[in-house]
Amino acid sequence: MKVAVFGASGLLGKALLREWHGDELFSFGSRHVDIRDASRVNKIVSETRPDWIVLAAAYTDVDGCETNRELAVAINRDGAANVARAASVSNSRLLFLSSDYVFDGSQQSPYETNAPRCPLGVYGASKADAEVLLLKIMPECCILRTSWLFGVDGRCFPDTILRLAESRPQLDVVDDQRGSPTYTVDLARAITRLCRKNASGIVHATNSGDCTWFEFAREIVSRAGLQVEVRPTTSAKMARPAARPVYSVLSPESLHKAGITLPAWQDALSRYIDERASHRGAA
C-alpha cells in the first residue's frame, strides 16, 4: 500500500512516519507543499498515486485562528478541499484529521460521531466546515476527530508543564475544561489500522479515560517525580482569545466498532515521559 502523509513535519505527522511500518510512505511537510496551492497538491498526488492520503496538515493555533480567520479558513477548510479533490481524481482514499473543537462543550456525556457540530470559535468552525465540504467531495472519506494531542515532536501541554516545573514552585492550571489526552504514538498506530481496514465515515479516536487540564498537569508532575504544587483555577482567570469547550470527551464507540481500543491516557503519559527523557538524553 502507498500512503501520502500531508503535514508530515507536524506533531502527529512525525509520529506517523515513525510508527507506520510495512507500507510505502510519501511524506510532505510545509516546506514541500502548501495545501492552499491546488495545482501543487494536484501535481504531488498525480505523481505519487497513493492508495491513502492522511491529511494532518492544518493551522492549529486555536488563539491565532481568532485573529487570522482568513488564514484558518484557507488552510483548514479550503486547503483540505484541495487535497480531497486531488484524492478523488486519483482514486485515492482520504483520512482527514479533525478535532473535538467542532463541538461547543455543552454536553455532559461523551460526544458520539453524529452529534451536531456547534463550534465556539474560528478554529473549530474551520474544521467543522471542512468536514461538511469533504463529505460532499468524497462521501467515502474517513474523518478522524481527536483531542488534546501530545507527543515528543513539538509543542504540547505535557512539555509545557514539564518545562515550567523546572523553574516554578507552583503552577495554576484550569480545572473546568474536561477532555481526553491523546498520545501521538497511539493515534498514529490507530490511523495505520484504520487505513488498512479501509475505514470511512466519522471516527473518534483518543486515549481512553478523561480528565481536566488540572488533573492532567497534576499527573504529569507526579509521574515525572517533580516536587511542584499544581493548583486548580478557572478558565475565567486564565482568559484566552478563543473560547474552549468545557467538555469535549469523544465517545470511543466508533473506534471500537473498527476493532481498535487505545490505552488509558495515564499509560500513554508514562510512555511519553520516558520517550521525552530518552530524546533529551540523546540531544
- Residues annotated as catalytic are 123
Q: What is the dihedral of CA 67, 216, 166, 152, to 10 degrees?
A: -70
Cα–Cα dist 104/117, whole Å: 8
Residue type, 54: V
Closest Cα partner for 220 from 268, 283, 154, 278? 268
Cα–Cα dist 16/146, whole Å: 15
Count CB neighbours of 281 within 10 A.
7
Cα–Cα dist 84/135, whole Å: 9
